[in-house]
């Protein structure tokens, strides 16, 4: 479910995001549920970068992002979002963050326009600005002609796009998406990719998880591979090819081949 946070706070209690800081910086992040799920994870993603976090089922991807979003408390470690210490100042961090899970929920009895007005109000977005942003988002996502219809009649893909618009309505600087293209047809997937590309050009940091490796291969500036809660490889596709031993002899190796090789090496080393 998509979560919202009130924007109400004393100005002197809310540190401002630092324009020169990393979009997201994790240091020694840990979380256990009887066993370590995220194990001293270090990660840094720059502003204006689209980063794909990949890994097998149970590797700790979603748990890591839920801690960044403030939906799970970390057992240990540091989380910085554009220079804001998210564990010390969680409300300030949430103000610049969006988190969209793989099964987003929206209010079916509302229209997209009503839903976005509701979400914008929770974030404290000025009404005129909210209306303009909502119109732009709905147009980019191909939902303008359905703006006055109740969401209860929408397909899963349409609901997913409404939820994405809700995640973006307050213009977050860090955008985290868990399997954002699952269930979307080709046209809808292209609309989502276009809007993400626009946000990256505007300086936002985007982190996505996906099991569709072609998506990561085509969209991501850099790719991180996580296994057993630890980052085992990171870099551009070319750099990952080199790390897997497929750089010189197989420069055209797909991300799928590289991913399987790197995770197999880690499994053998464990």
Q: Over the stretch 176-198, which tens digit does the pLDDT of each residue have?
A: 999 999 888 999 999 999 999 99
* Integer CA distances (angstroms), 205 to 40, 113, 163, in order: 22, 26, 19
Tokens linked to 15: 């540190």
Which of 181-204 are b and which e, b meaning 16 or more Cβ less than 10 Å from the residue's Cβ?
A: bbebeeebbebbbebbeebbeeeb
Direct distance between the N- and C-terminal alpha carbons of the chain, in angstroms, rounded to an integer: 35
pLDDT tens readout for residues 60-89: 999 999 999 999 999 999 999 999 999 999
Q: Which pTM does this prediction carry?
A: 0.88
Q: Angle at the Cα of 27 (from 65 to 98), degrees rounded to 5?
A: 30
Q: Show pLDDT as tens, one digit a residue, over the chain (270 residues).
A: 444 444 444 444 567 766 678 999 999 999 999 999 999 999 999 999 999 999 999 999 999 999 999 999 999 999 999 999 999 999 999 999 999 998 888 999 999 999 999 999 999 999 999 999 999 999 999 999 999 999 999 999 999 999 999 999 999 999 999 999 988 899 999 999 999 999 999 999 999 999 889 889 989 999 999 999 999 999 999 999 888 876 545 457 889 888 988 887 666 555
| 45 vs 40: CA distance, rounded Å | 17
């Amino acid at each position: 479910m998509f979560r919202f946070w009130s924007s109400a706070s004393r100005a002197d209690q809310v540190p401002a995001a630092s324009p020169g800081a990393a979009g997201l910086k994790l240091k020694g992040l840990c979380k256990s549920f009887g066993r370590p799920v995220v194990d001293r994870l270090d990660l840094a993603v720059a502003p204006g970068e689209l980063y794909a976090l990949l890994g097998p089922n149970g590797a700790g991807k979603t748990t890591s992002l839920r801690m960044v979003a403030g939906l799970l408390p970390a057992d240990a470690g540091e989380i910085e979002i554009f220079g804001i210490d998210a564990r010390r100042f969680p409300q300030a961090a949430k103000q610049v963050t969006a988190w969209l899970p793989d099964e987003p929920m929206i209010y079916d009895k509302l229209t997209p326009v009503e839903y976005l007005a509701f979400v914008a109000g929770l974030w404290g977005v000025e009404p005129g600005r909210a209306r303009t942003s909502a119109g732009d988002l709905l147009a980019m996502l191909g939902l303008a002609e359905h703006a006055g219809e109740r969401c209860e009649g929408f397909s899963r893909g349409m609901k997913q796009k409404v939820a994405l618009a809700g995640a973006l309505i307050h213009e977050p600087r860090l955008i985290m998406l868990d399997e954002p293209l699952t269930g979307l047809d080709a046209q809808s997937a292209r609309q989502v990719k276009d809007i993400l590309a626009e946000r990256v050009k505007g300086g936002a940091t985007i982190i996505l998880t996906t099991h569709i490796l072609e998506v990561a291969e085509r969209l991501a500036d850099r790719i991180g591979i996580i296994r057993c809660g630890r980052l085992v490889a990171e870099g551009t596709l070319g750099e990952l090819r080199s790390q897997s031993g497929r750089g010189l002899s197989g420069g055209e190796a797909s991300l799928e081949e590289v991913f399987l090789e790197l995770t197999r090496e880690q499994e053998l080393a464990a």
